[in-house]
Amino acid sequence: MATLQLSGVCKSFGTTPVLHDIDLDIGEGEFVVFVGPSGCGKSTLLRLICGLDTIDSGTLTIDGEIVNDVPPAKRGIAMVFQSYALYPHMSVASNMGYALRLAGTPKAEIERRVEAAANVLRLGPLLKRKPRQLSGGQRQRVAIGRAIVREPNVFLFDEPLSNLDAALRVDMRAEIAALKQRLGTTMIYVTHDQIEAMTLADRIVVMNAGRIEQVGSPLELYRRPANRVVARFIGSPRMNLLPGALVGDPAAAEIGVRPEHVRLAGVGHGLAGTVRMVEHLGSDLFAHVEIAGVEERVVARLDGGREVHVGEAVSISVDADTSHRFDAQGKRMAPAHNDRRTA
Amino acid sequence: MSVAPARALPSSPPVSRLAARGGLKAGERRVGWIFMVPALVAFTAVILWPFISALGLAFTRYDLRTPEPIFIGLANFRAILASPQILGSFVTTFVFVTLATVFTVAVALAWALILNQSFRGRALLRTATLIPWVLPATVAAFVWAWIFNSRFGVLNAALLSMGIIDLPQAWLSTSAGAMTAVVITKVWISVPVTTTFFLAGLQSMDREQIDAARVDGASDWHVLRDHIMPHLRPVLLVVLVLAVIGNLQQFDKIFALTGGGPVRATTVLSIEVYRLAFDSWDIGMAAAVGLLWVATIVPPAFLYLRHLLKDA
């Protein structure tokens, strides 16, 4: 386990700045997830932490020691790559023991640690196989096993589940969560999948355009997003944004409402709209409502048993205590004091 | 509960033995042969028939004194075994092929590794690398002949100015110097294409694999030995075999640079055959040496074809 601090970290590729003044403290044994849209710099930040790219300015400290110029292998870090990056010509056992072999670890010790990691990840029968003889999920487990064998102080995961199909992703997510409980090692995990972020993270770091937008626990980000970027990125389906003036709050530029907080009623009970699409998910139902003056359709999350039909005229209303106010710059505003907003 | 009778699956057409290679289905072979006829006719006319004719001449005496070939069995081959000069040309060929192949592969691999790095001007350097390849072989040979020239060559000028030699050297007038010159020329011409092969191989490599190795503690040497070379192994095999075949067939550059001299120092089999055929007009002997020359090319060609067919 290790602590990790990033102070004023900047990175550019050529003349293109990629990361701006990143400050972040990660505690011992914490599971921190970097999320953000593609190209926001989350993978670059992970590579800087790992030492695969150099930091232009600022400092990276691991356990109180500045490691900007320390090579990757000496940072006590192990990384699981998006493509798994297994060595195709080596067996599973050789893949897992490679780092130890390079470090000059005795053969018996390598075998012991590989076997122990293989048992944890149920890779025992596969140790002699080559990566091409494994399924996607098995390859992923080997990649994790390769990291575990090194007994690192910090684990880095770069979108490790993005190449797996949906069912396998759920299984592997559970495995990573179990691993987190078992090892208790500091873990940094990059993903653009917010469900992974919400289910795995102790804290989530939301990034956008090379900057950290907000750091907090999953529920904190969900309930109190610092700005409209975070509000729109966390939550699925994403938060609805309505013009403040339209819902009776002209002081706010926009009012954000989670789909589960949108109330759907008959005509005359709020903002008038028309249902344009209905998605039945069994337990839930998503109604996409078109409202005049609102750019995007408003999504309402309803009970799965409710009857809603495409083309139906409806009204929507929102509560002040479950909605979020944003100013013209997209920053969060203090709550207003009227108790219900309608049209 | 009633159970519907199992419906017979539609029978698939019989598959020929070639189907495993993506070949023709049974019944389509005749059409396949028809398509092959033009290629077979052309192959027979311009390759197979001349080759068989030359093969036949190897068992004849056919020189200035015999207007028609006379069958003499294996006499030409016995003469070859008794000729230290011709046996020497086999040794010269072996030396030339070994040196040219090893240095071509080594230099091209090193150059490809450099060109695979990110640096300013890389695209320009990659393009410039192809220059030796686009030059006509004889032009390249004369360029190097000028470089090695004892009186006004740039090699002597450079070495003299650096103080490495005190007097101009006649590089092409010594056995070792001439062999070095032909090997350097051949390597210089062959490196661009070989580099392209290696570069293509390197670019197909997963960059994350190298990153993973770095995180695991691999040095540059470990990355080369444990990751790049295993990845390039199929390319290396093809490059080695093609280089051996190309160097065994080498004629024009050596002929233009040294003419096989000095004193047979660079007389490889191709030059030997040329001299026997067109200096001595001993066509029978030339055909016999040529036959043995072809025999040296068969093993690497077989390896290459086997590799190609295995991947097909």
For the record, the structure tokens of B99 come out as: 């040196």
- Is the predicted pLDDT of residue B118 greater than 70, yes or no? yes
Residues in B closer than 8 angstroms to A98, CB to CB, are 213, 216, 226
Least confident of A163-177, A307-321, B112-126: A163-177
The DSSP bridge partners found for residue B78 are none
- Is the predicted pLDDT of residue A258 greater than 90, yes or no? yes
- Is the predicted pLDDT of residue A342 greater than 60, yes or no? no
Residues A58, A64, A68, A73, Cα dihedral to 10°: -150
Residues in A closer than 8 angstroms to B227, CB to CB, are 87
Question: How confident is the model at residue B18, as a pLDDT?
Answer: 55
- Which candidate from B208, B209, B222 shows the least CB-CB separation from A102? B222
Q: What percent of chain B has pLDDT over 90?
A: 50
Q: What is the pLDDT of residues B65-93, one digit of tens each?
A: 888 888 998 899 999 999 999 999 999 99
Counts for chain A of helices (H) and strands (E), in that order: 8, 20
| Cα–Cα dist B46/B48, whole Å | 6
| Cα–Cα dist B3/A302, whole Å | 43
Give the mean pLDDT of B195-200: 95
> Can you tell me which residue has the tokens 């004023």?
A8
DSSP state of A20: E
Every domain of chain B and the residues it spans: 25-57, 83-311
Give B276 to chain A, closest Cα distance, Å.
50
pLDDT band at B105 (very low <50, low <70, confident <90, very high): very high
| Cα–Cα dist A189/A173, whole Å | 12
Helix (H, G, I), strand (E, B) or coil at A241: strand
Residues in B closer than 8 angstroms to A71, CB to CB, are 214
pLDDT band at B21 (very low <50, low <70, confident <90, very high): low
Nearest Cα to Cα of residue A190 among A172, A175, A206, A179: A206
| Cα–Cα dist A19/A210, whole Å | 4
Give the mean pLDDT of A146-171: 87
| Cα–Cα dist B1/A211, whole Å | 67
Question: How confident is the model at residue A164, as a pLDDT?
Answer: 80
> How many whole angstroms from its chain centre is CA A293?
32
Cβ neighbourhood burial of A129 (10 Å; 0-12, 13-18, 19+): middle
Nearest Cα to Cα of residue B230 among A137, A86, A135, A103: A86
- Which candidate from B214, B217, B227 shows the least CB-CB separation from A87? B227
> Going by C-beta distance under 8 Å and a sequence separation of 6 or more, which residues neighbour residue A302?
A264, A284, A285, A286, A287, A308
pLDDT band at B23 (very low <50, low <70, confident <90, very high): low
Q: What is the interface pTM, i.e. ipTM, of the complex?
A: 0.83
| Cα–Cα dist A138/A85, whole Å | 13
- Is the predicted pLDDT of residue B36 greater than 70, yes or no? yes
* Pair A95, A84: CB distance under 8 Å: no
Question: How confident is the model at residue B5, as a pLDDT?
Answer: 45
Helix, strand, coil shares, percent, chain B, to 5: 70, 0, 25
Give the mean pLDDT of A132-160: 90
Helices (H), B47-204: 49-57, 75-82, 84-115, 122-129, 131-134, 137-148, 154-162, 175-203
Give the mean pLDDT of B38-48: 94
* Pair A156, A188: CB distance under 8 Å: yes
* Pair A188, A180: CB distance under 8 Å: no
Mean pLDDT of chain B: 87
- Is the predicted pLDDT of residue B136 greater than 90, yes or no? no
- Is the predicted pLDDT of residue B27 greater than 70, yes or no? no
Question: How confident is the model at residue A317, as a pLDDT?
Answer: 87
Q: What is the pLDDT of residues B280-296, one digit of tens each?
A: 899 999 999 999 988 88
The enclosing H or E element of B244 equals helix B229-248
> Going by C-beta distance under 8 Å and a sequence separation of 6 or more, which residues neighbour residue B151?
B168
Give the mean pLDDT of A196-208: 92
* Strand pairing category for A65-66 and A57-62: antiparallel
Residues in A closer than 8 angstroms to B208, CB to CB, are 81-83, 85
The radius of gyration of chain B's CA atoms, rounded to the nearest angstrom, is 26
Helix (H, G, I), strand (E, B) or coil at B64: coil
Secondary structure (H, E, C), A101-113: HHCCCCHHHHHHH
Nearest Cα to Cα of residue B95 among B190, B178, B191: B178
Question: How confident is the model at residue A267, as a pLDDT?
Answer: 75
Does the beta carbon of B214 lie under 8 angstroms from any beta carbon of chain A?
yes
Q: What percent of chain A has pLDDT over 70?
A: 98
Fold classification of B83-311 is: MetI-like fold (1.10.3720)
> Going by C-beta distance under 8 Å and a sequence separation of 6 or more, which residues neighbour residue B73?
B59
> Going by C-beta distance under 8 Å and a sequence separation of 6 or more, which residues neighbour residue B233?
none
pLDDT band at A173 (very low <50, low <70, confident <90, very high): confident
- Which candidate from A47, A85, A102 shows the least CB-CB separation from B206? A85
Ordered by where they begin, the domains of chain A are 4-229 (3.40.50.300), 239-341 (2.40.50.140)
Least confident of A288-292, B9-13, B21-25, B143-147: B9-13
| Cα–Cα dist A126/A138, whole Å | 9
Residue of chain A nearest B120, judged by CA positions: A14
Asked if the Cβ–Cβ distance from B226 to A78 is below 8 Å, we say: no
The total number of residues written for chain B in this structure: 312
Q: What is the pLDDT of residues A270-326, one digit of tens each?
A: 889 999 999 999 899 999 999 988 889 999 999 988 889 999 999 998 888 889 999
Mutate to test the interface with A, among B205, B216, B226 (most CBs of A within 10 A): B216
Q: Residues A10, A13, A16, A19: is their CA dihedral positive or negative? A: negative
Asked if the Cβ–Cβ distance from B215 to A89 is below 8 Å, we say: no
| Cα–Cα dist A51/B28, whole Å | 59
pLDDT band at A343 (very low <50, low <70, confident <90, very high): very low
> Can you tell me which residue has the tokens 């200096």?
B279
- Which candidate from B211, B226, B231 shows the least CB-CB separation from A85? B211
| Cα–Cα dist B33/B195, whole Å | 38
